[in-house]
Every structure is written in structure tokens, then in C-alpha cells.
A and B are shown apart, each in its own frame.
Chain A
Amino acid sequence: MSSTEDIIMAIPRELTQNPLRKIWMPCKNGLPEKHISQKRVCMTNCPTLIVTVGLPARGKTYISKKLTRYLNWIGVPTKEFNVGQYRRECVKIYKSFEFFRPDNEEGLKIRKHCALAALNDVRQYLSVEGGQVAVFDATNTTRERRATIMRFAEQNGYKVFFVESLCEDPKVIAENIVQVKLGSPDYTDCNTEEAIQDFMKRIKCYENSYQPLDENLDRELSYIKIMDVGQRYLVNRVLDHIQSRIVYYLMNIHITPRSIYLCRHGESDLNVRGRIGGDSGLSPRGKEFAQGLGRFIQDQNIKDLKVWTSQMKRTIQTAEALGVPYEQWKALNEIDAGVCEEMMYEEIQEHFPLEFALRDQDKYRYRYPKGESYEDLVQRLEPVIMELERQENVLVICHQAVMRCLLAYFLDKSAEELPYLKCPLHTVLKLTPVAYGCKVESIYLNVEAVNTHRDKPENVDISRLAEEALLTVPAHY
């Protein structure tokens, strides 16, 4: 008879659709079975350790934080481990650059200890806590230090990807120092002049022993060298999907000062009637907002502003009032509410009370029947984010759920917070990158509109009463 390998004329397992995410999964006796890969794409089959390399003030922490934010947003659990922070915890008070002198034995011991402590936490994160990517943010300027890290990675079965930042432009370095070093806890008690002087000496301490990644000696390693803030890149041995995405991202970001304006379309006819989705036009107040937006944009005097809308009537109508060219992106369309399109929350409660409750239980992952989830939205919006990173001044006229997703990316909000971010009508958010984060200015354009924000109700149980479900529904006509 056939060997054990051949027996599996697999009896296809029954399928059941997970009620929250509407994903079809094999089940046994009506209960879902553990399934190997339900993710949209298997990013990597083993955890990845990203290791930054570079002298101080070369943008390593900026890159680490930004990359971590991006990876988390697209659904790859990522965490950064900044060795400087470990050092500050160990050496409570920073005295001067002397700590970093290469002949400071005591200093070297402490710094090595901190690096190992950080690696220990990396192991905890990747092997125990289910993290997928860890960003090890330190200078890592010697081959010796990098060898230690690679041994650690090999022992634990992690892939290693180096991100080296090289920059000799004194203007860029000076600007870095002003932007992020002066505000560091290390320099709280120094004046600007002293701080800059000390920091420059600190850099000097590393310069002599700096061994950049070498095209020859390191040809078996996977890395990207970023030169002169992105003018030039050297990419070596990209091993898998996640490394490929990381490289693509790093090659698209820039640090040219600019602002991103986010707003929703003007109030729509369906908004007024408390109905979700659809493709209606602007209400009279919505039209007023569009005019106001036009004036606001003019007053802001923005250089080379690009305007993007979705392909839905209400955002386009809003953009038309600006009198400038704009681009329509289908990817910016509002979340598809499937069978619930154009319904009021009251109607959803009436016709789909189970769905309504499930949505309140996990608003991020919940997918409308024949529709989308916030999680789907994020995936849909990734090319928009990538292009926003490439661009400079942009105004994005979009929708509530879409704006929440974009905002969550810029402000590093978690999947739990994202669906409840406040994005009211007739309000423009101006985002300006500053230091390691984003400054947000909220400008309400003084045109009344309905509130469309529904908070998470107290009772999210399937067995709840209709009134409990509808407690937080905003007023409408």
C-alpha cells in the first residue's frame, strides 16, 4: 500500500468565516482550527534585527524611530532599543564628553554592559514577546562591536540587517545637533554653546576607531549605506521581503522641511442625515467649508502645494472650490461599509446587532460584511503614505476613517487608538515634522457641521440592549 507520505488525499477541512475579520478558516465541529498563515503576507519567517551604524549626529535615532513607526503601522510588531537610553539609566548624570574617550576604561565597561543589556531586552522582545523586528540603535562603529551583535543574532536565529548613515556635510551635522542633541537629557544643565562644543568633542572620540561597513570585507552582510542624507545608497544582499520593504522606505524618506495638511471633505448630505458611507455631495455648510478651505490655503502661502482627493464626489467637490489642480486617488476612498453602506447606526443596530457589537469589540480588525476593516484600509493606504514621504507640501482631502489611519501613522498611534482618533469635519490638521516627531496644529475653519464621531460604548457585549449600543451615536437630523 502507499507509504505514509502518500496517504494524504487530504479531506479538505470545512471552512468557517471568522465573524470579526470575515476570514475563511478551516474548522472542526464548527470551531476554527489554528491556521498557519492568515496574514496577508508572511513578512519574514524569523525575527529581524536591524542594527544602525554611524557616528553621532548622523540621524540614526531619527531613522530608527521613523522606521519603527512605519513598520508598526503596516502591522509588523517592531521596537527600538536605544543604547544611549540604557547608558543614561546606568550613569545617572552626564558630566562631559570625557565619558566617551576611547581610553576611558570605566566608560568603556559601562557602555559595553549597556549594549549587552539592550541585546538582552532585544532577545526578550523577539523570542519571548512575539516581536518581529528589533531596531538596535547605537553607533556600532567598530567591526568588533558588530561581530558581537552578529554572534548574538546567530545564536538566537535572527536575521541581521545593518543601516549605516554616513554624512560629512558640516551644515547637516550642526543642524542635527541643534534639533535633537541640545534638548537631550545629557545637556539639560548646559547652555547652547557649551553643549555644541561638548558634543563635537564627543563625535571626535568615535572618529578614530570608526570602521564603516566595507564593500569587500563585509560583502556577505546585508546592509544599506545611506550617504549624505539620501543622495546615494549602497544596498548589499537584501535577503527577504521585509528587508526589501525597509530599503524601499528608507530610500523614499527625506528631511526637507515641509507640512502635510489633512482634512475631511466638507459636510455631506449623508453626514447631515447620520448615514455612513455612500457617495453624496456637499451640504450647503459643506460648500461653505470648501470656500473657507480655499481662503485658508491661500493665506497659508504654501510653496508648490499638491492637493490630493479620493474618487468620491464629496472630496472632489471640496477640492474644486480651491481652484487649483488636484489628483484623485482611489486608495483614499472611505472605508467600504459593505452591506451597511448608507445606513444610520440605528439601522445597523436594528438589522445587524451582532455585527454592531463585534465592531465595538475590536473596531480595528472588524470587517464589515462584504466590506473592509481599518486593517484593510491601512494596507490600502500604504502607497499613499509612501508617496507622502516622497512629497513635500501636500493637502490631503479625505474621509474620517482614512484620515484616522493617516494620522495614526504620523502620530504613532496604536491599532487600539486609531479607530477612535478625533477627526471632526471642517477642521484642518497641519502636521510639521520636528525633531523625532510631528507637530500638530488644529485649525477649525469656523463653519458649523454635524459631529460624526461615535465613541466606544461601555457595553460591547453581543447581548446588550439597543439603547446601550446607541448611547454614543452623535446627533443627526
Chain B
Amino acid sequence: MFHNFHILSLSTFPYLVFMGSFGLTTSIVVFFKYGFWYFFILNLLILIFISFCWSKDIVMEGLSGYHNFFVMDGFKFGVVLFIFSELMFFFGIFWTFFDAALVPVHELGQTWSPMGLVLVNPFGVPLLNTIILLSSGVTVTWAHYSLLSNKDCFFSMFLTIFLAILFTGIQGMEYVEASFTISDGVFGSIFYLATGFHGVHVLFGGLFLFFNLIRLLKSHFNYNHHLGLEFAILYWHFVDVVWLFLFVFVYWWS
């Protein structure tokens, strides 16, 4: 009988992703215990390859016409759930930060930030990074609306990705130039955990946008149907919001 659902063909990719993730966590433990990192790199490459294969399948299904509006709504709901799970992940990290910072422990000198740590001036490089991320939000909105008005959006997407690379590079330089490390007490630990995971998310978001640019150049999108790009933009806005929280509480308030 007629229905609007897209019945997928059988595929092993979900199972392979499961095996890959299991191997990833195990190989990280092996690395921490024995210093042997080759399994980790191998596993990472395998997972990247599988995700390329699976994404290719989804793209081809979309181009074959299986993605009617009903299916598109399902995708949107799924991505909202995914971003919510990422939000919960950062929520936990921020909980740790506030738990450590609001009532500083006696050993740290009962002040936050702990004594002996020379913090980064928030109105130097971190402010630059904030402006970079906000500008990339502007360019990505520009890109989305120009696609919605059936115009070419290559330049705005290129600017967005360029700003993303700029942010990642500057954060890397900041990591090298910082005077404190991850082993410097609870502040160092939570600082590098929060900014490190955020940096990985920026990297992922930038790559997602880059692959959408490639799809754009291959004319996969039209002004009505460009879900991949919409998801990348939503993810990018999420990353931007997390950075704003990081900047205000971890950099400025500390």
C-alpha cells in the first residue's frame, strides 16, 4: 500500500560503525596504558572510511528521489536530537567547571582562578576568536539565504570555511603559547577539556561545511532541498553558542 516512508535497503554500515567505535575506545585505552598508538590511528581511518561510505549512500538515495518532504522532516528531527545530545555532553563539562569554580577548594587557595596560574587575557586572542566565530555565523546565514533565493553561494561558504580554519589555527597557536598545561590542577584540566572538545567540534563543523561546499559545486542542492547544508549550518550555530559560553565563563569570569 502507499506510504510516505523510505524503506532502506539492507546495509552493514551501522554494524561496522559499532565495531569501529568499540575498537576506537579500546585502542585509546591501549594507548594510554602501553603508549601504542598505531591501533588508534588505524581505527580512526577505518571509521572515517565507513562514514564516507555511509554518507555516500545517503547522498545517492537523496539524489535518486527517495527524500520526499515527509522523509526530510524525519531527518530534521533526527539532527535536532543529535545536537541535543551534544548539548548534554557540553552541559556535563560545564557542570564540572562550575562545580570546581564556584566553591574553590582549600588547596587552591580558595580563589578562582587558582593562585600561581597566569591566565590568558580574554580581551586579546579569545576576543578575536569570538569575533571570528560570530562573523562566520553571519557569512553562513548569508550563504543560506543566497541559496534560498536560487543564487550561487560559493563565496560566502568559502569565507565561512576560511574563518573556521582561522579559528582552529589561532586556537592551536594559543595552546602552544599558553603558560599553563592540562596537568595544572583542576583549572588546567577543565580548561583544556572544554576548549579541546570544543576545538574538535569546530574541526568537525568546518569539515561538514567543507563537504557541503563540494556537494554544492557538484549541484546536489536546489533552493528547496538542501538538508545537508541546513544541518551543517545548525551544527555550526551550535558550536558558536558553545564558544560564547566558554568565552564568558571559562575565559572571562575566571
Is this pair of chains taken from one and the same complex? Answer: no
